[in-house]
Amino acid sequence: MDNSRIADRLEAFASLLELADANPYMARAYRRAAETIRGAPVAVAELVRTGRVRELRGIGPGIEARLRELVETGEIAELAELERELAPGLVGLGRYLGLGAKRSVEIARALGVHTADELREAAAAGRLRTVPGIGPKTEARLLEALAREAEPRPQRGLVLPRAWELVGGIATALDGEPAGDVRRWRDSCELLAVVCAAPDPSTVLARFAALPQIVAVVEQGARRAVGVTVDGVPVELVAAEPERFGTALVRATGSPAYVAALEPLPDAADEPAVYRALGLPWCPPELREAPFRGEPPDLVEVANIRGDLHCHTTWSDGRASVEEMARAARARGYEYLAICDHTPAVGAVQGLTADDVRRQAEEIAAANELLAPFRVLRGIECDILADGRLDLPDDVLAELDWVQASVHGGQRMPRREMTKRVEEALRNPYVRCLSHPKGRLINRRPENALDLERVFEVALEERVALEVNGLPDRLDLRGEHVRDALRAGVQIVCSTDAHSTRALEYMTLSVRTARRGWARPADVLNTRPWQSIPR
Ligand SMILES: [Zn+2]
Ligand SMILES: [Zn+2]
């Protein structure tokens, strides 16, 4: 058995462990082992036979035992069993219904069904209640979930990169347009939709059902279908008549409230024609949240951004050096990049002391020498301590070009204390920007109890900007709060908080979020050249 075959089997095992909702660390360990084996310069089967395989990185006793079984018998028994039982369609449908993979498999086994369709038939025939552990209440809940027609939603929203990968991939495969929440760049996407122009809908519907992303179709009509992914995420397909494609796209893009306020929608082949027929200017999707029939403002675009003011390097928890980050920023067409590593109070990762900040200055100076006229700015993401003091002394902050202040620990503070803590930090004369002001992590941590109105007042007095953090699970400030900030007269900064060169791409997410808050280029500080950013 050669290395690539062994690696393939371990990878298959990892995927099925994920599918089975097993311990995620275990799945990751198998994936890493597969990678190591694929790249190993020696025959791994031989290492297994001679008892030396644990000399390879990342291979412990558990994986060694599986490898021995694989090399000796040609198969991993548990893997073969998982492959028999875990029909992806079944698991996807189960997850869509709110069941774990194991529970779906148990139910399927009790019912003697093997596919999602058979499970649906069995449910429709009233057989669910014959399954041990399913009472009338659970049965009713599952049947209701199977029948929810108007708005199929995932158990939890998807972050934007994941939602775009899914919806964008399906749209490309079917020659359609992404619609739903992703097209509005909603921070957590629940309604995932693709609209196709289809003279013959049956072809498109069949291609949709056959896509690798779709493991089961839970609803199908003449011009509409809902499929689910293996993660149980529903995606809606609208196969519109070509002469009504624009109408279908408007309908599938806007929030229900936005669309309702435009009704009745005229039939049109493309979106601009719909708006023309309504006598309205075309509206950027990001603004199709609340009802709106007016003239949209000129919203900020990624092309307006001249620099990124928040990123990390290997000095704290980033993955690239100062020079690598700067080169990547320059390659994006920026004029400047602020290096803002963490300070010690952040805790979980390494933070920069006053000494470190001064040593980093040398590295930044060297990068500036290499990359001029591109400008690498000396910045910091300075923790705001529990009492509102900053994590570095003022004389150090005074040396820096750009100081971001951030709340990381102690986020459960009551509103008055939290607001006072942040206010205190904004009063520091060296602070230029408040990072991820609300501190939420999408799907994981709620927003801090922070009185934003008060923060806006102080930010305005102290001329501190508020960040629109572009990390996919932050997007903080979010759109509504950006709008409130701008109405209060506060400036915003679109930043990525990138921890790698690739993550500089998240500028798109920050800018789209700012657009959801109606931000124009002049509202965003880093649309200006560095010299024109006022201090
Ligand atoms: Zn931070
Ligand atoms: Zn950061």
Q: What spacing in Å lies between the alpha carbon of 362 and ligand 1's midpoint?
A: 24
pLDDT level of residue 149 (50, 70, 90 thresholds): low
Q: How far apart are CA 529 and CA 379, in angstroms?
A: 17
* CA distance to 10, 11, 220, 271, 287, per residue, from 254 (Å): 44, 40, 22, 12, 9
> Would you tell me how many other CB atoms lie within 10 Å of the CB of residue 292?
16
Q: In the structure encoding, which two tokens stand for residue 265, read together?
A: 């929608």
Nearest ligand, measured from the Cα of 318: 2
Expressed in angstroms and rounded, the spacing between residue 475 Cα and the centre of ligand 1 is 12
Q: Are 351 and 341 in contact (CB under 8 A)?
A: yes
Q: Give me ligand 1 centre to Cα 92, in Å.
A: 35
Q: Report the 10 Å Cβ neighbour count for 46.
A: 11
Between 134 and 507, the more confident residue is 507
Query: How far does residue 380's CA lie from ligand 2's centre (Å)?
Result: 9
User: What whole-number distance in Å separates Cα of residue 205 and Cα of residue 246?
Assistant: 19
- List the single range of 9-18, 348-357, 523-532 with lowest mean pLDDT: 9-18
pLDDT at 86: 80
**Can you tell me which residue has the tokens 């003239």?**
295
Q: For residue 123, give Cα distances in angstroms to 114, 219, 409, 526.
A: 13, 14, 48, 56
Q: Which ligand is nearest to the CA of 317?
A: 2
Q: Which residue type sits at 267? A: D
Nearest to 237 by CA among 198, 267, 196: 196
- Ligand 1 center from residue 478 Cα (angstroms): 15
Distance 293 CA to ligand 1 centre (A): 38
Mean pLDDT for the stretch of residues 100-127: 86
Q: Is residue 512 pLDDT above 60, yes or no?
A: yes
pLDDT of residue 348: 78
Answer with the residue of higher pLDDT: 91 or 293: 293
Nearest ligand to the CA of 339 is: 2
pLDDT value, residue 102: 80
Alpha-helical regions (H) of 279-348: 322-331
Local confidence band at 464 (pLDDT 50, 70, 90 cut-offs): very high
Does 147 have pLDDT greater than 80? no
For residues 364 and 339, the answer to whether their CB atoms sit within 8 Å is yes
Q: Measure 310 CA to ligand 2 centroid, in angstroms.
A: 6
Distance between alpha carbon 517 and the CA centroid of its chain, in Å?
A: 19
pLDDT of residue 18: 84
Q: Minimum-distance ligand to the CA of 436?
A: 1
Q: pTM for this structure?
A: 0.87
Average pLDDT along the chain: 94
Q: Which residues surround ligand 1, an ion (CB under 5 A)?
A: 406
pLDDT at 151: 67
What is the spatial distance between Cα 167 and Cα 235, in angstroms, rounded to a whole number?
8
Give distance in angstroms: CA of 373 to centre of ligand 2. Answer: 25
- More confident call, 258 vs 94: 258
CA dist., res. 79 & res. 9, Å (int): 8
Rg of the chain taking only CA atoms, in angstroms:
27
Q: Ligand 1 mean position to 402 CA, how many Å?
A: 15
State the DSSP code for 242: G
Separation of CA 316 and ligand 2 centre (Å): 10
Give the ligand whose atoms come closest to the C-alpha of residue 316.
Answer: 2
Model confidence pLDDT, tens digit, residues 248-271: 999 999 999 999 999 999 999 999
Residue 186 in contact with residue 153, Cβ under 8 Å? no
The gap between the terminal CA atoms of the chain, to the nearest Å, is: 66
Q: What percent of the chain has pLDDT over 90?
A: 78
Distance 379 CA to ligand 1 centre (A): 13
Ligand (nearest to CA of 348): 1
User: Hey, is 316 helix, strand or coil?
Assistant: coil
Show Cβ contacts of residue 375 under 8 Å, excluding neighbours closer than 6 positions.
307, 335, 336, 337, 368, 530
Distance CA 533, CA 165 (A): 36
Cβ atoms of 528 and 521 closer than 8 Å: no
What is the pLDDT, as a whole number, of residue 117?
84
**Per-residue tokens: 507:** 């500028």
pLDDT in tens, 393-443: 999 999 999 999 999 999 999 999 999 999 999 999 999 999 999 999 999
Separation of alpha carbons 146 and 153, rounded Å:
12
Q: How far is the CA of 493 from the centre of ligand 2 (A)?
A: 13
Q: Considering every ligand atom, which ligand is closest to the CA of 476?
A: 1
Distance between Cα 421 and ligand 2 center (Å) = 19
Residue 519 has pLDDT above 90, yes or no: yes
Distance 498 CA to ligand 1 centre (A): 10
Q: Which ligand has the shortest distance to the CA of 409?
A: 1
